[in-house]
């Protein structure tokens, strides 16, 4: 057991290191901008004195290493700086009601998590069931139709899937709202209804990949001798798959689920924009358009952290579920 613990701790340390390096990359990228934040806040018509005042105020005169340390120190404590879009000259020169990046991100982060949660709750059982069915009836009409359908939905851009769903479920048959109008104290049912269409879009994109991998993982095992044995004993095909193949295929399946949840993070950006869903992805895109650097930086860090975390989880779970990785030579 101690070796397992050591391996997991090693992975965690590696993940943390990656996160730190990624934060350096993000910081360096943003700081390679010509001109500086002070100029960006005040615009073209700023007087040199005002620019200089803000430079000292937000500490742009410090060397980059110091600034990076301060930024990281703040970020760890949840202080991600002040949004340019919400800031103006007065907020920097005295008044106290600054809109911080953290204030902006926190409610939207919860919304995005809700969307991802709903998607995962629909997509994971659906994908695993369909994958098992496709493996059970492989090379049948069902399998081939599923293959074509999943390949098409993997390769379509998210906004195409989104618009097709809007067309059929919101415009032609008004079952679900085409815009996700979500506000703070909403009843659970209404909130779920408003989230369902973006969640369905993401489900279609993610399910396809998970289902193909589940099918491949099970079919890989079906050639092994113990499956042959089980079949020769006269067990029904469904039982062979559920009792004999699935437990051994669990490792790759869990891995693929974690990786696809990581993929969700990228998919969420486009889908949130299509449905005007008030999540972190939409905030990110809006900030990119108006060059609100602190928000872009913070969102990027959050996305990267979630991505690294999910990849790490996939890594650790695959080690835990595979004895050969658990006891390396």
Partner 1 sequence: MSVWLWIVLAFVGMGVLAWVGRRVGQMATSNAPRFRDMPYGVAFGYVFAAACILGGIWLWFLPGAVFFRWAVQGFVLFAIAAFVFRLVFRHVGTAATKRLFRAMPLTAAFGILVIIIYAVLAIFAGAIAPYGQSEILGAANVVPGGDPAMGGNPLYPLGTDQIGRDILSRLIYGAQNTVGIAFVTTLIAFFLGGSLGFLAATVGGWLDQLLSRAVDVLMAIPSLIFSLLLMTIASVWADGEKALLTVYMILIIAVIDSTRVFRLARAVGTGIVVMDYIEAARLRGEGMGWIVFREILPNAMAPLLAEFGLRFCFVFLTIASLSFLGVGIQPPLADWGTMVRDLGPFINFAAFAPLVATAPLMAAGAIALLTVAVNFVVDWMLQKSSGLKE
Kindly list the residues in this chain that would bind partner 1 in the complex (CB under 8 A): 18-19, 21-22, 25-26, 29-30, 32-35, 133, 136-142, 148, 151-152, 154-160, 163-164, 166-168, 171-172, 175, 178, 219, 236-238, 262, 265-266, 269-270, 273-274, 284-285, 288-289, 291, 293, 296-297, 299-300, 303-304, 307-308, 311
Q: Of the two residues 13 and 238, which places its CB atom closer to partner 1 in the complex?
A: 238
DSSP per-residue string spanning 141-174: HHHHHHHHHHHHHHHS-HHHHHHHHHIIIIIIS-
The two three-digit tokens of residue 292, written as one number: 């609100």
Q: Of the two residues 12 and 175, which places its CB atom closer to partner 1 in the complex?
A: 175
Least distance (Å) from partner 1 to the CB of residue 286?
A: 10
Q: What are the two backbone dihedrals, phi and then psi, of residue 113, each rounded to the nearest 5 degrees?
A: -60, -40
Q: Of the two residues 4 and 308, which places its CB atom closer to partner 1 in the complex?
A: 308
* 84 within 8 A of 292, measured Cβ to Cβ: yes
Least distance (Å) from partner 1 to the CB of residue 198?
A: 15
Q: Of the two residues 113 and 151, which places its CB atom closer to partner 1 in the complex?
A: 151
Task: In whole angstroms, give the CA distance from residue 45 to residue 43.
Answer: 6
CA angle, residues 280, 285, 289, in degrees to nearest 5: 145
The two three-digit tokens of residue 74, written as one number: 């703040």
Least distance (Å) from partner 1 to the CB of residue 60?
A: 16
Q: Of the two residues 182 and 222, which places its CB atom closer to partner 1 in the complex?
A: 222
Taking the CB of residue 182, how many other CB atoms lie within 10 A of it? 20
Least distance (Å) from partner 1 to the CB of residue 96?
A: 29
Least distance (Å) from partner 1 to the CB of residue 144?
A: 9
Q: Of the two residues 55 and 321, which places its CB atom closer to partner 1 in the complex?
A: 55
Task: In whole angstroms, give the CA distance from residue 170 to residue 273.
Answer: 17
Q: What are the two backbone dihedrals, phi and then psi, of residue 36, each rounded to the nearest 5 degrees?
A: -145, 180
């Amino acid at each position: 057991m101690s070796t397992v613990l050591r391996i997991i701790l090693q992975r965690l340390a590696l993940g943390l290191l990656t996160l730190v390096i990624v934060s350096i990359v993000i910081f360096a990228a943003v700081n390679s901008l010509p001109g500086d934040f002070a100029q960006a806040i005040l615009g073209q018509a700023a007087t040199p004195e005002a620019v200089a005042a803000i430079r000292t105020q937000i500490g742009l005169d410090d060397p980059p290493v110091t600034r990076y340390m301060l930024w990281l120190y703040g970020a760890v404590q949840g202080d991600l700086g002040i949004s340019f879009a919400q800031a103006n000259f007065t907020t920097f020169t005295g008044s106290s009601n600054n809109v911080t990046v953290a204030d902006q991100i926190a409610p939207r982060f919860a919304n995005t998590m809700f969307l991802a949660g709903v998607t995962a709750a629909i997509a994971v059982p659906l994908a695993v069931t369909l994958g098992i069915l496709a493996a059970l009836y492989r090379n049948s009409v069902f399998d081939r139709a599923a293959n074509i359908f999943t390949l098409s939905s993997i390769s379509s851009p998210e906004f195409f899937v989104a618009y097709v769903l809007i067309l059929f479920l919101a415009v032609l048959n008004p079952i679900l709202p085409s815009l996700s109008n979500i506000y703070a104290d909403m009843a659970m049912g209404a909130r779920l209804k408003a989230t369902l269409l973006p969640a369905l879009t993401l489900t279609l994109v993610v399910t396809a990949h998970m289902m193909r991998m589940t099918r491949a993982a099970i079919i890989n095992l079906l050639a092994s001798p113990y499956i042959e044995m089980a079949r020769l004993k006269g067990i029904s095909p469904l039982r062979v798959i559920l009792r004999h193949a699935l437990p051994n295929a669990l490792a790759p399946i869990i891995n693929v689920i974690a990786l696809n949840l990581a993929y969700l993070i990228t998919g969420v950006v486009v889908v949130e924009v299509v449905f005007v869903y008030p999540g972190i992805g939409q905030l990110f895109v809006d900030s990119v358009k108006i060059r609100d650097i602190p928000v872009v930086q913070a969102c990027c860090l959050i996305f990267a952290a979630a991505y690294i975390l999910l990849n790490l989880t996939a890594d650790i779970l695959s080690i835990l579920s595979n004895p050969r990785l658990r006891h390396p030579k």
